[in-house]
Amino acid sequence: MKKIVINMLWLLALVVTATSCSTDTTLFGEDDSFVAFHASSFKGSETDAAINVQVVVGALKSSTPVDVTVEVMADTGRLIAKEGKDFTIASKTLEFADGMGVMNIVVKPIDNSIFTGNKTFRLKLASNSANYPTGAISIATVTLSDDEHPLGRWIGSYSVACASYGKPGAWDEAWSVKTAPDPSDVNNLLITGIAKSSDAITATIDTTAMTITIKGGTELVGEGSYSLGLYLGTEDLTVPDKGAKIIGTISPDGLIHIDHLTPMIIAGTYKGSVWDTFNTTWTKQ
């Protein structure tokens, strides 16, 4: 047995040696030169001083200088950012003195005082003085985030103190939660982090009644990979009313308060078990 193992090791060493001797080196040649955007999308707020859109020229270090020109594509639509109204570009031509490298098209957003929603526009590689072919990314989308969102006071990161009704103090929890605008409905927030979940759930904000509402039975995967449903529960941890909405309150300073928030296990061995019922206080960071 030992002899067989030794022979197998010798054969493996011979294969590895032969493989390493036949390795070829791939070189970047002049014919491989290209121009491309560094990424297909770039994002920034309308309050940013500038958004840098990176353009890459891949060429040999000894290449001659090259100028690259971009153009704004003539898109149409309700949420298209318009040059001169929503943003400006000081120069649409980049001069690569070394003939290669990375440079930025500088987009300067124009802030306004009304909510229009996030707007986008597209940049296209129009030409370059060396006539290099375009790489994989020849069109880049730039998104300008609107800072006047009507729910802006409640958008951001929260530290959530969860006071347990099951065993106060001993079973208390702390969650790190993030809220973001729902792109499909300006009255909704997408919330990530409830019950330590990475799933985003939808909550509706009423700025007149100053309430936040989560649909009873909203599903997510919580701590320990348990499949959970969120319900309006009771302080004695009995099975909650599955049809009731979970309604909390919001404050102008961003504070959120939701009482009797109850995660319940809805699948697996412990299906139907109430995880706990919490009185939650959300403090914006």
Digitized pLDDT (tens) for each residue of the chain, 285 residues in all: 222 333 333 333 333 344 444 455 567 777 899 999 999 999 998 889 999 999 999 999 889 999 999 999 988 877 899 999 999 999 999 999 999 999 999 999 999 878 888 899 999 999 999 999 999 999 999 999 887 788 989 999 999 999 999 999 999 999 999 999 898 898 999 999 999 999 999 999 999 999 999 999 999 999 889 999 999 999 999 989 999 999 999 999 999 999 999 999 999 999 999 999 999 999 999
Q: How high is the pLDDT of residue 18?
A: 42
DSSP H or E segment with residue 73:
none
Numbered ranges of CATH 2.60.40.2030 in the chain = 30-145
Give 158's strand partners.
177, 284
Q: How high is the pLDDT of residue 117?
A: 81
Domain 152-284 has CATH 1.10.3470: no
> What is the separation, in whole angstroms, between the first and last Cα of the chain?
66
Closest to 204 in 3D by CA, of 195, 213, 196, 215: 213
Q: How high is the pLDDT of residue 26?
A: 60
CATH number given to 30-145:
2.60.40.2030
Q: How high is the pLDDT of residue 156?
A: 93
In this structure, are residues 128 and 158 in contact, taking their beta carbons and an 8 Å threshold? no
In this structure, are residues 117 and 144 in contact, taking their beta carbons and an 8 Å threshold? no
The two most distant CA atoms of the chain are separated, in Å, by 84
Tokens encoding 17: 């040696």
Q: How high is the pLDDT of residue 25?
A: 56
Numbered ranges of CATH 2.40.128 in the chain = 152-284
Closest to 65 in 3D by CA, of 27, 32, 103: 103
